[in-house]
Amino acid sequence: MIYFDNAATTLRKPPEVADAVVRALGAFGGVGRGVHGASLDAGMAVFEARETAARLLGAPCAARVSFAHNATAALNIAIASTIPCGGRAVTTAASHNSVLRPLFKARDERGCKVDVAPVRPDASLDFGAYERLLEGGADLVVATHASNLTGDVYDIARMTASAHAAGAVFVLDAAQTAGTVPIDMGALGADIVCFTGHKSLFGPQGTGGLAVAEGIEVAPLFVGGSGTASFDEQHPRFMPEALEAGTLNAHGLAGLAAGMAFVEREGVAASAARLGLLTERFECGAREVSGVRVLGGRGGIDRCPIVALDVCGIDSAMVADELYREHSICVRAGAHCAPLMHRALATEQNGAVRFSFSHFTTAEEIDEGISALEAVVRAVR
């Protein structure tokens, strides 16, 4: 089996990730729930995960990183906290539903105004339209670092400068870039960075979180047990406990810590350069196949290891099924939880076939994928 669905979740993990989870399952108690060894060991593992995440994201310090189930949970926390009732938010058509649906919920339930900056047919952001939307001021801007459909990486430093000039807090969705694109939230100007563990950080599913800049207050979305201040009626407001009600997934976070340590050792920039070559190799091969249209890929300042295709105008699910049944190649078909992006790229009806690569993808697998794509096109046309 060849796995090209890494933008959804990485299948191949460094072996130390599974080892860390297995050790944690047999050794950890509750984080912050005791002074015995089992609890302290769990707390130390989580602290190590915070420190590594802070370094990888350019966060001010480990204490400014809170963990959540995934980027979706982190985005819900960030959005609910930073847009007031009746406030105004701006996002882009490249956004995932993990951004769009919390914003539309705020619109429908709290009277907020949501404006969407358009994306051009080449997947590039219409910066003029984005900046015009901010001329009247805004409370919140939420934007994806890279499209989960096309892999295009957007100019976040430019976006944050415009957002801050309009008085907005800037929330960055780094679900696709954490681990594949160097991130320094301070240099980018991002106030909050939301990330997930199960993609290019090589952690288990059910891990992720948000890094918060100094001076930005994020109110708890969930409240409950915190292990501290148990007699207070209100949940603690200090980071990171403010955003971590209930018992943390220490077993999963131990695995995430191991995955992030692997990413750090390999070097994000070095991995990005290698993945860039593999992505270019696949895209060049795909462009040579008659009837195949590459979606985006040149619409940003950089590129994640993603290539999305419109294959002969045929239903993407049919193509993905043929790739798996006949060639044992795993890809993602459909709308990819990015409805506005598909409208911009005119792929609403049939969706797209997304190939996405990871640190463990080989050149030989890339070449097999191109050959399989050629065979499938011959079969389905």
Does the pLDDT of residue 225 top 80, yes or no? no
Q: For position 235, what pLDDT does the model report? A: 80
Residue among 147, 99, 127, 179 nearest 352 (CA): 147
* The pLDDT of residue 267: 97
Which residue from 341, 346, 332 is spatially nearest to 123, judged by alpha carbons? 341
Of 81, 78, 48, the closest CA to residue 62 belongs to: 48
Instruction: Please give the pLDDT value at position 380.
Output: 81
**268 vs 271: CA distance, rounded Å:** 5
Instruction: Compute CA distances 198 → 6, 43, 204, 208, 260, whole Å.
Output: 9, 21, 5, 8, 11
- 7-23 pLDDT per residue, tens: 999 999 999 999 999 99
pLDDT-derived band at 222 (thresholds 50, 70, 90) equals: confident
Q: Of the candidates 159, 113, 53, 122, which has an alpha carbon nearest to the alpha carbon of residue 308?
A: 122
**Has residue 159 got a pLDDT over 80?**
yes
- Distance, in Å, from the CA atom of 190 to the CA atom of 37, rounded to the nearest integer, reads 37
The two three-digit tokens of residue 108, written as one number: 């429908």
Q: Which of 104, 103, 142, 149 is nearest to 122 (CA)?
A: 149
d(CA 325, CA 58): 43
Distance CA 369, CA 350 (A): 21
For every residue of 36-95, which 3-state class applies, written as one string? CHHHHHHHHHHHHHHHHHHHHHCCCCHHHEEEECCHHHHHHHHHHHHCCCCCEEEEECCC
Domain architecture of the chain: domains with CATH:
2-10+268-380 (3.90.1150.10), 15-266 (3.40.640.10)
Bridge partners of residue 5, in order along the sequence: 356
Q: Find tokens 């409208």 and name the residue.
A: 343
Give residue 238's pLDDT band: very low, low, confident or very high (50, 70, 90): confident
Q: Which two tokens stand for residue 126?
A: 């219409």
**DSSP letter (8 states) at residue 154:** P
Say if residue 226's pLDDT is above 80. Answer: no
Q: For residue 234, what pLDDT is reported?
A: 82
User: Does residue 231 surpass a pLDDT of 90?
Assistant: no
Strand order in the sheet with 88-92: 65-68, 208-212, 192-196, 169-173, 140-144, 88-92, 113-117
Residue 372 to residue 273: CA distance in whole angstroms: 25
Average pLDDT, the chain: 95
Q: Which residue has the higher pLDDT, 233 or 117?
A: 117
Query: For residue 83, is pLDDT > 90?
Result: yes
Whole-prediction pTM: 0.96
Name residue, tokens 């920039």: 269
Cis omega (within 30 of 0) for bond into 339: no
Distance CA 6, CA 330 (A): 9
- Predicted confidence (pLDDT) per residue in 291-333, tens digit: 999 999 999 999 999 999 999 999 999 999 999 999 999 999 9
